[in-house]
Amino acid sequence: DQQVKQNSPSLSVQEGRISILNCDYTNSMFDYFLWYKKYPAEGPTFLISISSIKDKNEDGRFTVFLNKSAKHLSLHIVPSQPGDSAVYFCAATFSGSARQLTFGSGTQLTVLP
Amino acid sequence: DAEITQSPRHKITETGRQVTLACHQTWNHNNMFWYRQDLGHGLRLIHYSYGVHDTNKGEVSDGYSVSRSNTEDLPLTLESAASSQTSVYFCASSESTRVEAFFGQGTRLTVV
């Protein structure tokens, strides 16, 4: 039973447009959510996180939105650039877990020039 | 610069062999983790450690073991490699007070 789900395996977006990646979760105990980016043959790289007490966190071109009632979060990338093409993983954790991360299955983002 | 390194980057082994994957971090992080990545599953937790001499099982720990004799290293051992353990393995570490973990570059293991 996947506690963190990314239902879109892939997404294509035109350069300069907004990319929106979605993630759903089922465990109400999660209190932090994270996004990681992964290029081929490299390890995942931390992008941005959000605490469950917030509904938005912004870092440059990246913004994460959290809707606790819907158990849904999204990552917005504006404007999208070809270098953003990668697999994006949503992850979640809770304080009683020693900060183990539970990952979604990932979404392949392709930004077309 | 502090970093986390995994070795080897690629490994081919035969069914039934014992294999050890190395992970070394220079951040002095207490928490260390091993994940495997498979298509359709994302990254799944194998084992984790809060500190020296501490080890814990994760979601997919069967057939794997770890030991933590110092802060910097968490080697992952496959006791008797099986084809189902063909995967990409990632080591990660984190500070006890932070949520984000930092990952190594991965080890691609093929069991034939």
Per-residue confidence (pLDDT) for residue B72, from 0 to 100: 97
| B22 vs A: CB within 8 A | no
| A65 vs B: CB within 8 A | no
- Residue A84 pLDDT > 90, yes or no? yes
* Nearest residue on chain A to B95, alpha-carbon basis: A99
CB contact at 8 A, B109 and B63: no
Query: Which residues in A lie closer than 8 A to residue B99 (C-beta atoms)?
Result: 32, 34, 49, 93, 99
- Residue B54 pLDDT > 90, yes or no? yes
- Residue A96 pLDDT > 90, yes or no? no
Arithmetic mean of pLDDT over chain A? 94
Kindly report the number of other CB atoms within 10 A of residue A105's CB atom: 21
Q: Is A106 left (phi over 0), alpha (psi -120 to 50) or beta?
A: left
CB contact at 8 A, A38 and A21: no
Using CA atoms, how far apart are residues B51 and B9, in angstroms rounded to an integer? 25
Using CA atoms, how far apart are residues B105 and B102, in angstroms rounded to an integer? 10
Mean pLDDT of B37-62: 93
Cα A6 from chain centroid (whole Å)? 9
CB-count exposure of residue A96 (10 Å: 0-12, 13-18, 19+): exposed
Q: What amino acid is encoded at A30 in this protein?
A: F
Question: B84 phi and psi, to 5 degrees?
Answer: -65, -10
Query: Which residues in A lie closer than 8 A to residue B103 (C-beta atoms)?
Result: 36, 43-45
- Residue A99 pLDDT > 80, yes or no? no
- Residue B29 pLDDT > 60, yes or no? yes
Count CB pairs under 8 A between chains A and B. 57
Q: List the one residue out of A110, A65, A73 whose CA is nearest residue A91.
A: A73
Q: List the one residue out of A70, A26, A30 whose CA is nearest residue A50.
A: A30
Residue A76 banded pLDDT, cuts 50, 70, 90: very high
**DSSP output for A98-110:** TT--EE---EEEE
Per-residue confidence (pLDDT) for residue B5, from 0 to 100: 96
Mean pLDDT of A5-10: 95
Which among B41, B48, B90 has the least Cβ separation from residue A43? Answer: B90
- Residue A97 pLDDT > 60, yes or no? no
Using CA atoms, how far apart are residues B92 and A113, in angstroms rounded to an integer? 33
CB contact at 8 A, A113 and A13: no
Residue A98 banded pLDDT, cuts 50, 70, 90: low
Q: Is A105 left (phi over 0), alpha (psi -120 to 50) or beta?
A: alpha
Query: Which residues in B lie closer than 8 A to residue A36 (C-beta atoms)?
Result: 103
CB contact at 8 A, B25 and B32: yes
DSSP-derived 3-state class of residue B84: helix
More confident residue, A111 or B41: A111
- Give tens-digit pLDDT for A37-74: 999 999 999 999 999 999 999 999 999 999 999 999 99
Per-residue confidence (pLDDT) for residue B70, from 0 to 100: 97
> A22-26, A94-98, A99-103, B20-24 — which is least confidently predicted?
A94-98
Residue B96 banded pLDDT, cuts 50, 70, 90: confident
